[in-house]
Amino acid sequence: MHDDLPNLDPVLLDVPSLEKLGLPPQSGHPPRILLLYGSNRERSYSRLLVEEAARLLERLGAEPRIFSPAGLPLPDDVPDSHPKVQELRELVLWSEGQVWCSPERHGAMSAVFKAQIDWIPLTQGAIRPTQGKTLALMQVCGGSQSFNAVGQMRVLGRWMRMFTIPNQSSVPKAFLEFDEAGRMKPSAYYDRVVDVMEELVKFTLLLRGRADYLVDRYSERKESVEALSRRVNQSAI
């Protein structure tokens, strides 16, 4: 996939590595990145942008996976045992970082995109599926450039306890930025997508093996000790 990048100057691309980040080398898997998009249209520009990002991520040494929201029921419309819900949640657990991309509809992220996030619990047993993971944000616009959707998603990413990277992408008049084959045309907007993916991989590598410590909280340690104390006291009665 990553060889098909006609708009990219490979000489100028910075493929992130632990060595460049000043970290000791590690054996292990490529950064695992889940990409979500927010439209079920046959020609979905948020999907096309995500596919372009996935090509770049692969070239940057990551392992991207794209979740299709087609067939995902509305939140609470079905039990969470539904196959599409389970597929989404398994991919979230698999991922170390994520890319969220939504069209802007009525000045906000789309319902299709938000429904995906609403199916992801903050806690799943003893696991927090999104906490400590990296996040990159992109949006596509039908008209002039706007940042409403990425702004909302930034708040949402913080709520989901994710490390949202500083850079972001907003593509105005997206219908003009992709050719008939669905590939993004060369432009400053394409270059910004490259910037965002480079930054996402860097932060994902930087946080690997450190996220659990960075999100370790005094209040939660205190709750755990108090809960253990209650169980001990109850068993002694």
- The pLDDT tens digits of the residues spanning 185-208 come to 999 999 999 999 999 999 999 998
**pLDDT (tens digit per residue) in 33-90:** 999 999 999 999 999 999 999 999 999 999 999 999 999 999 999 999 999 999 999 9
Phi, psi of 63 (to 5 degrees): -110, 100
Q: Which of 192, 196, 133, 187 is nearest to 166 (CA)?
A: 196
Which helix (H) or strand (E) is 206 found in, with range? Answer: helix 188-207
* CATH code linked to domain 32-236: 3.40.50.360
Which of 13-27, 126-140, 152-166 comes out lowest in average pLDDT? 13-27
- Percentage of the residues of the chain whose pLDDT score is greater than 90: 78
Q: What are the structural domain ranges in the chain?
A: 32-236
pLDDT greater than 90 at residue 232: no
Rounded to whole angstroms, what are the CA distances from 114 to 109, 169, 190?
A: 7, 18, 25
Residues in the chain, how many? 237
pLDDT at 3: 59
Q: Which residues contact 67 (CB under 8 A, 6 or more apart)?
A: 34, 35, 36, 87, 88, 91, 116
Reading the block at residue 52, the tokens are 């372009």
Which of 13-17, 73-77, 159-163 comes out lowest in average pLDDT? 13-17
Please answer whether residues 118 and 75 qualify as being in contact, where contact means their C-beta atoms are separated by less than 8 angstroms.
yes
Tell me which amino acid residue 171 is: V
pLDDT at 2: 46
Segments of 13-72 assigned E as strands: 32-37, 63-67
